[in-house]
Amino acid sequence: MSSNTKDGITIRIMTVEDYKNVKAFMEDDFLLSEPLSQSSGESFHQNKDNGEYLLSMIAQDTCLVALDENNGGRLVGFVMAGAQFPEDTEQHRVEAEAMEQHTWGRIYRLLSKIEREANIFERFGISKALYSHITSVDKAMRGKGLGSRLAATLMEVGRSKGFPVMVAYCTSFFSARQKEALGMQCIHSLTYADYKDAHGQPIFKPAAPHTMVRAMAIKL
């Protein structure tokens, strides 16, 4: 896709050169506002494997950045997304179980569980899907439709690359509501109060209205 600009904000495909800024933005902004990370009280652990995973998505030309042209091209939002195939589901389960007991490890295990239970490949009868992994918008830009623009642009990218379905696992009430407004449907959900550790205690206790994780999907 070519870049598109509206109200001084340009959205374009992310490049490897963008990753340094995106990584800093992710750690300074997204992980402080993402409900599960925010409620954990722990600092974020960016492990090597996750960095390699994100770089592999960038290499597919399926990730996006939003730049404020009125502020020197400052990064004000991004989407990490990439192709997923049926065999990835089991690989993600194995990787999740091997991760340490820190915030990202716990989140990754939850997302792997939702991925298996949503079972999008059998549900839709498809052999690949576009997975919208992380979407983040600068706090100063929220409520202005930028998140919706990023998601809609990603759908366009998915269609242009022949993906039959786009899926996102939303840990935030607001991200799920935004994607629902764009036509995505909740195909599976898990209430945080029902997701418990070996001692019967909820693993995540985010503040309301973030009560569940939702698997959202749309046919492209």
Q: What is the mean pLDDT of residues 163-189?
A: 95
* Contact of 98 with 90, CB cutoff 8 Å: no
Mean pLDDT along residues 33-55: 68
pLDDT digits (tens, 9 = 90+) for 46-80: 544 578 889 999 999 999 999 999 999 999 999 99
Question: Are 4 and 10 a contacting pair, CB within 8 Å?
Answer: yes
Q: Which two tokens stand for residue 160?
A: 């242009």
Question: Spelled out in words, what is the top-level CATH class assigned to the domain 4-219?
Answer: alpha beta
pLDDT band for 32, please (50, 70, 90 cuts).
low
Q: Which of 113-116's residues contact partners 24+ apart within 8 Å by CB, and which partners?
A: 113/190, 113/195, 114/169, 114/188, 114/190, 114/213, 114/215, 115/89, 115/169, 115/215, 116/89
User: CA-CA distance, 73 to 209, in Å (whole number)?
Assistant: 33
Q: What is the pLDDT of residue 48?
A: 44
* Inter-residue contact 5 to 61 (CB < 8 Å): no
Judged by DSSP in three states, 10 sits in strand
pLDDT at 100: 79
Q: What was the pLDDT predicted at 206?
A: 92
Instruction: Give me the pLDDT at residue 72, please.
Output: 93
> Cβ distance 76 to 137 under 8 Å?
yes
pLDDT at 41: 62
Q: What does pTM read for this prediction?
A: 0.90
Count helices and strands (H / E) in the chain: 9, 8
Is the link from the previous residue into 209 a cis peptide, with omega within 30 of 0?
Answer: yes
**Helical H segments across 81-220, by residue range:** 86-98, 103-118, 120-124, 146-160, 173-181
Tell me, what's the pLDDT at 129?
Answer: 98
Q: Which residues contact 26 (CB under 8 A, 6 or more apart)?
A: 46, 78, 134, 136
Q: Residue 10: pLDDT above 80?
A: yes
Question: What mean pLDDT do residues 9-38 have?
Answer: 85
Residue 43 has pLDDT above 80, yes or no: no
Summarize the confidence of residues 162-191 as an average pLDDT. Answer: 96
Assigned token pair, 81: 């997304």
Stretch 138-148: mean pLDDT: 88
Averaged pLDDT of the chain: 90
Model confidence pLDDT, tens digit, residues 83-133: 999 999 999 999 999 987 777 788 899 999 999 999 999 999 999 999 999
Q: Which of 30, 23, 16, 14 is nearest to 141 (CA)?
A: 30
